[in-house]
């Protein structure tokens, strides 16, 4: 047999892009289970429908761009985008809302920029923000957590998705909204007054956050990403919350635990901030990137008009990522100076 000529290295590590994406998908499972437990089948239906739309959009885009379908579909990136966006959407969202969101993510945010690896913005968050701005009512309609009302069954969830007009949605303000709107009650009293609050944060929300945290830690352990961005984000968010907690007065911004385990904090920290494509690359860069996202999340939560702020914070920092990269280039071996920024 003729000998093959290949250039070194001949060995390859165990990591593959498929494996990265599959791991991310797997790591969302505990969070999805907890969400389903507390808010019913809405999230699951979101994900099912969203995935179908995502694969169709991806196939369409690949076809238009004349790329081999099988090869690119196999990288699971479209599926990851879909799952992440659908987790962020309110349960029992109507089908068209999901479709519009997914299409914006895959077609606009990803393929218009040249496909996987070329998108400067996190596709799931682009889709989310487009929906939030275009359909604020649907986007802020969260179901009440288990125990505060009837949880719809799977069929009802399907009905809510595909014949939304026939479905009578029960919604409730989220703890994040309640805290923001509060200006008269002490934190302690606020907790007493509204059943949406749980032990540390929102009822159900706190467990969902813990589940996403667990998934994130598993990903860290699998070396899918480094700790820098998520830890930096959680630390700045926690610090700011601690500084402005002021013991729980009526003007309080909420306790650190409320913020860390509330809203989309953990989901954002481990599944959104860590998106490699749109984040900073160097380790120092990731520290800055994550840290600033934490600051932005807190600021927008307290000062902004939107219920949660992870998506905005991430998109704003996506803008900044190239600059962060530019100023945090590592010092090459044998060089005295860093290349840029001095």
Give, as ranges, the residues between 276 and 305 that touch another protein (CB under 8 A): 276-277, 279, 281-283, 286
CA distances, 272 to each of 123, 126, 182, 187, 318 (Å): 10, 11, 29, 30, 11
Residue 16 within binding range of another protein, rule CB under 8 A? yes
SS3 of residue 172 by DSSP: strand
Q: Are 86 and 98 in contact (CB under 8 A)?
A: yes
Q: Which is nearer to another protein, 77 or 265 (CB)?
A: 77
- Site mask, another protein, residues 81-120, x = CB under 8 A? ----------------------------------xxxx--
Nearest-approach distance from CB 124 to another protein, in angstroms: 15
Residue 9 within binding range of another protein, rule CB under 8 A? yes
The first and second tokens of residue 169, run together, are 């949605």
Q: Which is nearer to another protein, 114 or 147 (CB)?
A: 114
Report d(CA 103, CA 281) in Å as an integer. 27
Nearest-approach distance from CB 212 to another protein, in angstroms: 20
Nearest-approach distance from CB 118 to another protein, in angstroms: 8
Residue 249 within binding range of another protein, rule CB under 8 A? no
Q: Are 158 and 45 in contact (CB under 8 A)?
A: yes
Please work out, in degrees rounded to the nearest 5, the angle formed at the alpha carbon of residue 183 by the alpha carbons of 178 and 188: 70
Span of 95-103, 140-148, 273-281, 304-312 interacting with another protein by CB under 8 A:
273-281
Alpha helices in 9-68 (DSSP H): 17-39, 42-64
Residue 66 within binding range of another protein, rule CB under 8 A? no
Q: Which is nearer to another protein, 43 or 77 (CB)?
A: 77
Residue 226 within binding range of another protein, rule CB under 8 A? yes
User: Can you give the C-alpha Rg of the chain in angstroms?
Assistant: 21
Residue 166 within binding range of another protein, rule CB under 8 A? no
Span of 31-39, 169-177, 188-196, 275-283 interacting with another protein by CB under 8 A:
275-283
Report d(CA 137, CA 120) in Å as an integer. 28
Residue 11 within binding range of another protein, rule CB under 8 A? yes
Q: Which is nearer to another protein, 74 or 199 (CB)?
A: 74
Report d(CA 142, CA 30) in Å as an integer. 20
Summary count for the chain: helices (H), strands (E): 16, 0
Whose tokens are 């905005």? That residue is: 312
The kind and range of the H/E element at 300 are helix 283-303
Nearest-approach distance from CB 285 to another protein, in angstroms: 9
Nearest-approach distance from CB 226 to another protein, in angstroms: 7
Q: Are 30 and 212 in contact (CB under 8 A)?
A: yes
Report d(CA 22, CA 79) in Å as an integer. 9
Span of 55-63, 136-144, 287-295, 334-342 interacting with another protein by CB under 8 A:
334-342
Residue 70 within binding range of another protein, rule CB under 8 A? no
φ, ψ of residue 197 to 5 degrees: the values are -80, 145
Residue 221 within binding range of another protein, rule CB under 8 A? no
Residue from 15, 29, 69, 243 binding another protein (CB under 8 A) = 15
Q: At what angle do helices 310-327 and 283-303 cross, to 10 degrees?
A: 150
Q: Which is nearer to another protein, 228 or 301 (CB)?
A: 228
Q: Are 282 and 325 in contact (CB under 8 A)?
A: yes
Applying CB under 8 A, the site for another protein has a residue count of 42
Which residues make up the interface to another protein (CB under 8 A)?
A: 1, 3-13, 15-17, 19-20, 71, 75, 77, 115-118, 225-226, 276-277, 279, 281-283, 286, 329-336, 339
């Amino acid at each position: 047999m003729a000998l093959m000529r290949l250039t070194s290295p001949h060995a390859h590590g165990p990591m593959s892009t498929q494996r990265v994406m599959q791991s991310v998908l797997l790591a969302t499972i505990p969070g999805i289970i907890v969400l389903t437990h507390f808010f019913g089948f809405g999230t699951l239906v979101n994900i099912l429908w969203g995935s179908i739309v995502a694969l169709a959009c991806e196939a369409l885009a690949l076809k238009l761009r004349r790329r081999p379908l099988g090869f690119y579909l196999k990288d699971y990136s479209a599926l990851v985008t879909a799952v992440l966006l659908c987790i962020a959407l309110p349960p029992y969202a109507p089908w068209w809302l999901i479709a519009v969101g997914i299409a914006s993510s895959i077609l606009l945010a990803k393929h218009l920029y040249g496909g996987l690896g070329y998108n400067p913005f996190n596709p799931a968050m682009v889709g989310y923000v487009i929906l939030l701005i275009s359909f604020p009512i649907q986007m802020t309609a969260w179901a009440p957590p288990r125990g505060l009302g009837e949880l719809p069954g799977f069929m009802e969830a399907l009905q809510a998705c595909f014949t939304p007009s026939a479905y009578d949605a029960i919604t409730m303000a989220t703890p994040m909204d309640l805290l923001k709107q509060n200006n008269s009650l002490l934190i302690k009293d606020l907790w007493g007054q509204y059943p949406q609050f749980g032990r540390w944060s929102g009822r159900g929300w706190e467990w969902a956050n813990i589940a996403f945290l667990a998934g994130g830690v598993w990903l860290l352990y699998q070396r899918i990403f480094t700790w820098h961005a998520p830890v930096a984000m959680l630390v700045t968010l926690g610090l700011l919350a601690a500084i402005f907690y002021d013991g729980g007065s009526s003007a309080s911004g909420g306790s650190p635990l409320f913020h860390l385990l509330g809203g989309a904090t953990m989901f954002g920290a481990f599944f959104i901030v860590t998106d490699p494509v749109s984040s900073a690359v160097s380790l120092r860069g990731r520290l800055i990137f994550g840290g600033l996202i934490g600051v932005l999340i807190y600021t927008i939560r307290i000062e902004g008009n939107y219920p949660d702020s992870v998506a905005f914070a991430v998109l704003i920092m996506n803008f900044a990522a190239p600059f962060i990269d530019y100023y945090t280039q590592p010092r090459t071996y044998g060089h005295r100076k860093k290349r840029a920024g001095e």
